[in-house]
Structure 1
């Protein structure tokens, strides 16, 4: 019937939306494998002569979280991961096989916190969080659940000097450790695109990289971060993220502001994408008649939201991408942007004029001047990487050192 077809269509569409949902936070239960039991067995040498030969149980497998550069979000296959149990010991001194470890791949920039429950004075429990690790490099790993120890068999050689009273004794394997984890993805890319809705971030991402984001002429086309990889001819590559468009009040969590802003914290470089095609509208229309602020106001508002959320974000290296130069009259918008930024820096302090960000006029829609922007981004990332290496060499082992992308050094992993 028509109603049945409509219900089936709704279910299919819901499934498609859920399949492409970007997951940046998840809670997991992880459990190490149980150790195998020891075995009681005897070799018979005749005439009542027996020799203990029961093998030990195998050790349970561990659970590891491993950072993988090919994994882009926390859409893991399950919420509960358990490593393989160790096999039981056997006769003839056959020890049980150790359980295989379980490896859970997570994106680079994943912060791991262990969740524990502590009884309170009201007969309830309070949640306590403790840092367990910060997976910020390819193949970085942390063991989050240990496997249980294998039980001992009655074999004299493997069990050491055991008295006659233990000849008929074996021990069971112990359970693996259990942990509840909160995983949060903070560092999703080397470069973050920041801008108002419909500023052209998705078009720029598609033009620069291999990503295929949804693109349309209305605001809020991007509702989850899109990740792309920019690959150069010599094999060098970096990742770039299209952060969903910010709105006024994002720092107060309007429009899912906090969930978007935290993705910016651990990027190395920010690209402010500014729509310079809007200024000519303001020359003929009152300000309240346009939905998009003039170019310089866009930049100021974006910086204001970042400052309100975390003042350290203003210290990040940045560039300004003046987009939509394919629209007639963009020159006035570009000039207004340059003039407005210089005035803003003068108000903030004369010393900051030297920190005037580079402005790159581009047309993401037509690809105009995008190659020049890509080269400049690579040069800037290489300079940042060199700066991080020098800082690391000067302060090796300093637990209080923060790199420009927000990575904390000297953290001890389990």
Structure 2
């Protein structure tokens, strides 16, 4: 099994590393060519600018190769007779799995597979009799390329919950692991490969902190990657979590609800994703008793909401498909977790197929004449 590492760096350098997950580019369609009035000819249209998804492309490579970040289509040819040639189109090769937007946030489209393409700036029209044979300039604008990881499962947890260790145990991936928070400062994706060669991707994403929805810590940089995962694996330390000596201690139950609230405050739709709760570090003393307490609290979470600050109580408590105790360091429960991950994805795919079939049947029923 191999680890796929998203090799990124960032335009703005922050204390957690050099990490690019978005680019702002200037694009302009090529100007049209002049029309030939004497013969009533039409100048060639200017070239368009396209963004095209390609393998082995990173934002860093784009930035290094095109430091000015300006992309302009070719100029249309002047009419020598009846019609001038169209200007060359400009293609911007970009990573797979990006969203392309205008500066105001309006989405132009998504590039999810190799070869997907989006026109981002149209070339100007060539001069003709309707424009007094004068050409027009191409459209100019700023666009943003925004990378959001695509994975089957995303690991969601506060720092030091053991997500990197879990990814290693699940997939033989080798992310950096250490006994201090914020080890992960860039996403890693591990591949789970089953005996029938089925592959499932699991993304280890940088640790959240309280206030991530306000862009504290790695904030939005982390949360946006959760959007493109199919399902979630919440990972919590069975013994609880404390970010620093001056920060409040959070039990495993509190940690679960704070994670839920951070996702809710960023984008409520994230909570519609199927989720499995992974309770890590079951090799620690007293872990079994703490696990029993957590399970009891999760059965009626509203009865224990007084443990949370008022502004951090979720509107809706997450109903987990499974609560899975594991120890990433000893390997306890990992095989069982891998099986549940497979079952959960297979179930989701089966339900999606049933929904499609039902939709087709409904459409066919509407098309068949009803006889009294």
TM, length-normalised to structure 1? 0.64
Task: Give me the whole-angstrom Cα distance separating, in 2, the residues matched to 1:210 and 1:38.
Answer: 64
- Where does residue 195 of structure 1 map in the other structure? 157
**Stretch of structure 1 that moved more, 252-261 or 241-250:** 252-261
- Where does residue 71 of structure 2 map in the other structure? 82
Shift of 1:255: 2.4
Q: Find the partner of 1:300 among 257, 271, 276.
A: 257
Shift of 1:340: 2.6
- Where does residue 409 of structure 1 map in the other structure? none
Tell which structure's C-alpha radius of gyration is larger.
1
- Where does residue 103 of structure 1 map in the other structure? 92
Task: Give me the whole-angstrom Cα distance separating, in 2, the residues matched to 1:312 and 1:379.
Answer: 23
Count the aligned residue pairs.
334
Q: For the structure 1 residues 197 and 385, does the alpha-carbon distance in structure 2 shift closer, same or farther, using more than 3 Å as the test? A: same
Determine whether 1:27 maps to 2:3: no
Q: Find the partner of 2:108 among 133, 136, 150.
A: 133
Determine whether 1:62 maps to 2:24: no
Verify the 8 A CA contact 1:72 1:227 in the aligned structure 2. no
Shift of 1:217: 0.8
* Alignment deviations for residues 169-190 of structure 1 (CA, whole Å, 9 cap, x no partner): x956543221212343455433
**Any gaps of 5 or more consecutive residues in structure 1?**
1-15, 42-51, 116-128, 153-158, 160-169, 283-287, 397-414
Verify the 8 A CA contact 1:74 1:106 in the aligned structure 2. no
- Where does residue 143 of structure 1 map in the other structure? 119
Determine whether 1:332 maps to 2:296: no
Q: Find the partner of 1:113 among 95, 101, 109.
A: 101
Task: Give me the whole-angstrom Cα distance separating, in 2, the residues matched to 1:55 and 1:67.
Answer: 37
* Alignment deviations for residues 274-293 of structure 1 (CA, whole Å, 9 cap, x no partner): 112x26x99xxxxx899763
Determine whether 1:373 maps to 2:359: no
Task: Give me the whole-angstrom Cα distance separating, in 1, the residues matched to 2:355 and 2:111.
Answer: 17
Shift of 1:322: 1.7
- Where does residue 7 of structure 2 map in the other structure? none
Task: Give me the whole-angstrom Cα distance separating, in 2, the residues matched to 1:382 and 1:336.
Answer: 31
**Stretch of structure 1 that moved more, 92-101 or 320-329:** 92-101
Shift of 1:250: 2.7
**Any gaps of 5 or more consecutive residues in structure 2?**
1-12, 306-315, 361-372
Q: For the structure 1 residues 387 and 135, does the alpha-carbon distance in structure 2 shift closer, same or farther, using more than 3 Å as the test? A: farther
Shift of 1:65: 2.6
- For 1:4-403, what aligned pairs fall within 5 Å after superposition? 21-37=18-34, 58-67=44-53, 76-77=62-63, 78=66, 80-86=69-75, 88=77, 96=85, 98-108=87-97, 110=99, 112-115=100-103, 129=104, 131-135=106-110, 137-138=112-113, 139-150=115-126, 171=133, 174-186=136-148, 188-209=150-171, 212-232=174-194, 234-276=196-238, 278=239, 293-344=250-301, 355-388=319-352
Task: Give me the whole-angstrom Cα distance separating, in 2, the residues matched to 1:290 and 1:84.
Answer: 54
* Alignment deviations for residues 186-237 of structure 1 (CA, whole Å, 9 cap, x no partner): 5543321111211111222234447543221101112333344444455543
State the secondary structure of the residue aligned to 2:229.
coil
Task: Give me the whole-angstrom Cα distance separating, in 2, the residues matched to 1:389 and 1:73.
Answer: 36
TM, length-normalised to structure 2? 0.70
Shift of 1:315: 2.9
Shift of 1:246: 1.9
